[in-house]
Structure 1
Amino acid sequence: MILTIGNTKGGVGKTTLAVQLAITRALAGREVWLIDGDRQGTATVAIAARAENGRAPGIACAQYPDGSILRTQVQQQRGKWDDIVIDAGGRDSTALRAALTLTDVLVVPFAPRSYDVWALDDIAALVEEARSLRDGLQAFAVLNLADPGELSADNEEAAAAVADVPQFVYLPQPIRRRKAFSNAGGQGCSVHELTPRDPKACVELTTLAESVFNIQTIAFAR
């Protein structure tokens, strides 16, 4: 499966989510390739920290911020991996556009802020363009960096706003703003590997991962 975590809006936690999902799949025994499509290379740094800390399993990671190189490498090597996770940069980049023509599932994280919700229209236009070039692209929006409280008006309003963007299906498995996610990212590990563990963060990540990857399983079954 090829999964892209992308948005034209920066600061929505794409890299954290991409790294967490890639490690989650590797811990489940999958052969995973994480592609860093951002010139900042934050995902690459996180995976390097994982290797330096001696964590297993190791995660294969490559940085391809140029769209043509990203496309060529994925096309040539996709058969070697169970899952490819692409972290696309927070702007309308060649890497993001290339990823959209290759990916099976796009997950668009957005935060419960007005600017983030408004920006969904920009990435929706790119999804529409990509769908004109290939069939089968599934696109989902997920609330990331959500307010920690179970009852949050901002969370609910942001989630409801996705209904106005028909290119996306809303995944009701939010990732809340928790220190465990930033701490884990800095060490190149999953929240499941972090000590001490944050049970709520672990449940949120597991629930999202099961939802995202089961979506593709269902699609293949059809």
Structure 2
Amino acid sequence: MILTVGNTKGGVGKTTLAVNLAIARAWAGRDVWLIDGDRQGTAQTAISIRAESGRQPGIACATYPDGQTLRAQVQQQRGKFDDVVIDAGGRDSTSLRAALVLSDVLLVPFQPRSYDVWALNDIAALVDEARSVRDGLRAFAVLNCADPGEASSDNAEASAAVADVPQFAYLATPIRRRKAFANAAGAGLSVLELKPPDPKASAELSALVNALFEG
């Protein structure tokens, strides 16, 4: 599967999710290729830290912020991997547009804030463009950095707003605002690898992985 984690809005936690998803799939025995499509190179930095610390399983990672290069490399090498996870930059970029045309699944994380919800319409237009040239792109929106409270009104209002953007299916597997996610990604880890473990964070990530790859 080729999965892109993307949004035209920055600051929604794309890289943290992409790193966590890639490592979780590697732990499941899959050959995974993580592509950093952002010029900031944060995902590449996280995986470099992981490699330097000798953590296993290792994750293949490359940085292709240019859409033409990303497209060419994925087309040439996709057959070598079970799963390709693309971390696209937080803007309407050539790498994001190239990733959408190549991907089987788009995951759009958004936070429970008005600006994030409004931005869904921007990337929805890109989804329409990608679907006009390639059939089969499935697009999902997931609440990221959600308020910890189960009954948060902000979470509920944000998730309900996705219904107004028909290009996306809403995944009822929110990732809540927990230090474990930031701490893990900064060390090149998944929350599944943290010691001591955070059972709630691990359960949330596992639910998201199952919804994307097993659903």
Using structure 2 for the length normalisation, give the TM-score.
Answer: 0.99
Match of 2:191, SS? coil
In structure 2, C-alpha distance between the alignment counterparts of 1:212 and 1:82, rounded to whole Å = 14
Q: Is residue 6 from structure 1 mapped to residue 14 from structure 2 by the alignment? A: no
**Partner Cα distance (1:170, 1:110) in 2:** 11
Deviations 1:97-119 (A, max 9, x none): 00000000000000000000000
Secondary structure of residue in 2 paired with 1:76: helix
Cα distance in 1 for partners of 2:16, 2:213 equals 17
CA distance in 2, matches of 1:25, 1:120: 27
1:114 equivalent in structure 2: 114
SS at match of 1:100: helix
Hey, what does 2:198 align to over in structure 1? 198
- Segments of 5+ residues of structure 1 without an aligned counterpart are 216-222
Give the Å deviation of 1:209: 0.2
Which secondary structure state, in structure 2, belongs to the residue aligned with residue 175 of structure 1? strand
The answer on 1:53 being equivalent to 2:49 is: no
Task: Give the match for residue 44 of structure 1.
Answer: 44
SS in structure 1 of the partner of residue 193 of structure 2 = coil
1:141 corresponds to? 141
> Following the alignment from structure 1 to structure 2, what is the Cα–Cα distance between the partners of residues 30 and 54?
19
Structure 2 residues not aligned, in runs of 5+: none
- The alpha-carbon deviation at position 52 of structure 1 amounts to 1.2
Displacement after TM superposition at 1:54 (Å): 1.0
Counterparts of 1:71-110 in structure 2 under 5 Å? Answer: 71-110=71-110
Letter in 1 for 2:149: G
**CA drift at 1:38:** 0.1
Q: Partner residue of 2:21?
A: 21
Q: What is the aligned length?
A: 215
The letter of the residue matching 1:214 is E
Match of residue 65 from structure 1:
65
Shift of 1:214: 1.6
| 1:213 partner SS | helix
Two-structure CA RMSD over aligned residues (Å): 0.5
Shift of the alpha carbon at 1:188? 0.3
* 1:20-61 residue CA offsets vs partner (Å, 9 max, x unmatched): 000000001100000000000000000001011110010000
Q: Which amino acid aligns with 1:213?
A: F
C-alpha distance in 1 between matches for 2:146 and 2:186: 20
Which position in structure 1 is the counterpart of 2:30? 30
- CA deviation after TM superposition for structure 1 residue 127, in Å: 0.1
Structure 2 letter corresponding to 1:148: P
Q: Secondary structure at the match of 2:44?
A: helix
SS of the equivalent of 2:36 reads: strand
Distance 1:170 1:36 in 2: 25
By how many angstroms is 1:72 displaced? Answer: 0.2
The DSSP-based 3-state class of the residue aligned with 1:132 is helix
Cα distance in 2 for partners of 1:2, 1:34 equals 10
Amino acid at match of 1:136: G
How far 1:198 moved relative to its partner? Answer: 0.5
Q: Secondary structure at the residue paired with 2:133?
A: coil
- Separation in 1, partners of 2:134, 2:104: 10
Cα-to-partner distance string for 1:203-222 (whole Å, 9 max, x where unaligned): 0000000110023xxxxxxx
